[in-house]
Structure formats: C-alpha cells, structure tokens
Amino acid sequence: MHQAAPPPRRRLTCRRCSASWRALARPSPPSSAWKSGSDFRDGGATTLFEMALGVPPWTLTKNDDAYNRAMNEACVVDTTMSMDIMLKDTSSSIFSGLTSLVDVGGGHGAAAMAIATAFPHIKCSVLDLEQVIIKVPQQAGTDHIHSTVQFIAGDMFESIPPTDAVFLKHVLDCWDDDHCVKILQQCKRAIPARDAGGKVIIMNVVIGYGSLDKIVKEAQVLFDMYMMRYGGSEREEHEWRKIFSKAGFSDYKITPILGFHSIIEVFP
C-alpha cells in the first residue's frame, strides 16, 4: 500500500542563540499526522506540535481526556507554586484598587483562587475552553474561596466578560504575535479606561529581565525554545511592546519577580 512519505527534515534555528537542530528527528508519528510540505509552518499552516500530533494542543485537550487531565493538573502545580511567589513579591501594588478580575485561559483556577484568597474583595472569575471548565474538580465549588470563584466556558478570541482587570498567566507565550494581538484586543474591550482602573496583568517571561543568574537566563531561553512547539515564544521587552501597541494599548510597566517570571501591567 502506498504511504505518504514524511516531509524532508528541516533545520530549525533559535532566533536568540543561533543554535540549530534538525526538526522531526524523532520516531515518526502515524502517517496520517504528516501533511504536505506546503502545510508546514513556513507555508503558514502549522506548528511543531501539529506536525508531531496532527492537531493543535487545544484541540487535543478536547479529543484526548488523558492529555487534557495532564495539562490541567500540570498547570495547577506550576501555578500554585509561582502564585505564592508572585503574591508575596508584588501583590499590593498590582492588585490594589481592583474590584473584579478575569483569569483568561486560567485552567482549573489555581491563580484565581490564590488571588481571591489574598484579596477577598476582588470578584475573581476564570474563562477557559469548555473541555477544561467541565473538568474543574467538584470540590472547587464547596469551600468558601472555591465558591467565590466563578468558572466560565468560552473562547478568548470571541469575547471576554467585562472586568476591571484581565489576568493572563502563561497564555500569550503559547501564541504567535498575530494571535496575541487578537487576544489583547479582546482584553481591551473587556476592561475600562486606565483612569477607571482598567488593566491587563500578564505573568510571563520577559527575556533579559529578572535575576542575572546564568540559570535564570538559561531557563528563559529554554522556555523560548519549549514554546516554539506551539508556535509561540518567550519575548524580549521590544517584542512585547510591539504587540501591546498593535492591540491599541498605550503604556505598560514590567516588574520582575523571583525566578524567571515578570509581571507586565498593560494599560489602555
């Protein structure tokens, strides 16, 4: 039987350090996952993740329960640890004055619950895809903090509920610049003007910010490479500035926190 030949191996090059390696140097996925050469990312259609698994990650969370569970649980573990650091380091200045916040792409709500615990007067909600929200563990409605956090199934590219602030933790680095601009444009529609307290709070890497330790720098660059699988990337300040400006925001402030993350407050 005739089987479609896999695409030729290509050499990928890291934009920051010029390291290069062979794409697809791994066991072949099922032939159905291969697409024609013109479908590859250079042709505009897909990502390393899709090349290997045939669908984008947020389709796989819909199609594959085990992958969905692993992704949601991993996000809770990462977020529980990093929110602890973030809230100790920076919280008062960043969250003061807010009465509502939507954690967009907030998974099972670990960040929203940490914020609601630290600031009980802020009404916190989580917006995520339906396949994520329907799997929010049951106990997340029974104790006091869980019951104050509202979970909303929806698509951030279509609309985000009105709120003082949108929180985006490890969401924008999953996407290329054009998708980030679209997400940020929806965020801007959801929040009030700057003088009425509106802002977007991004928790992500800003390459070059934070501790100058070699290990922190290496972690930032490794994350950049890691996010390439989704077609996303970690960004330097000038790359963030470009997407904020394209999405119609007027100003931003970067606050590095312990570890390799920063908080970016983005103002309409």
Ligand X SMILES: C[S@@+](CC[C@H](N)C(=O)[O-])C[C@H]1O[C@@H](n2cnc3c(N)ncnc32)[C@H](O)[C@@H]1O
Sites of contact with ligand X (CB under 6 A): 58, 61, 75, 78-79, 105-107, 127-129, 132, 155-157, 169-171, 174
75 or 149: CB nearest ligand X: 75
Q: Which two tokens stand for residue 125?
A: 């909600």
How far apart, in Å, are the Cα atoms of 34 and each of 24, 28, 52? Answer: 11, 9, 8
Q: How far apart are CA 9 and CA 123, in angstroms?
A: 50
How far apart, in Å, are the Cα atoms of 3 and each of 25, 28, 30, 33, 89? Answer: 19, 13, 10, 12, 56
21 or 157: CB nearest ligand X: 157
How far apart, in Å, are the Cα atoms of 204 and each of 5, 234, 257? Answer: 39, 8, 10
Cβ neighbours of residue 57 closer than 8 Å, sequence gap 6 or more: 49, 71, 174, 230
Task: For the beta carbon of residue 9, count every other beta carbon within 10 angstroms.
Answer: 10
CB of 232 to ligand X, least distance (A): 9
169 or 199: CB nearest ligand X: 169
Q: Which two tokens stand for residue 40?
A: 């590859």
66 or 193: CB nearest ligand X: 66
CB of 235 to ligand X, least distance (A): 15
Length of the chain: 268
105 or 210: CB nearest ligand X: 105
CB of 3 to ligand X, least distance (A): 33
CB of 90 to ligand X, least distance (A): 16
Measured from each CB, the residue nearest to ligand X is 105
Compute the half-sphere exposure of residue 142: CA atoms within 13 Å on the CB side of its CA: 4
Containing 116, the helix (H) or strand (E) segment is helix 110-118
CB of 146 to ligand X, least distance (A): 17
170 or 199: CB nearest ligand X: 170
CB of 13 to ligand X, least distance (A): 25
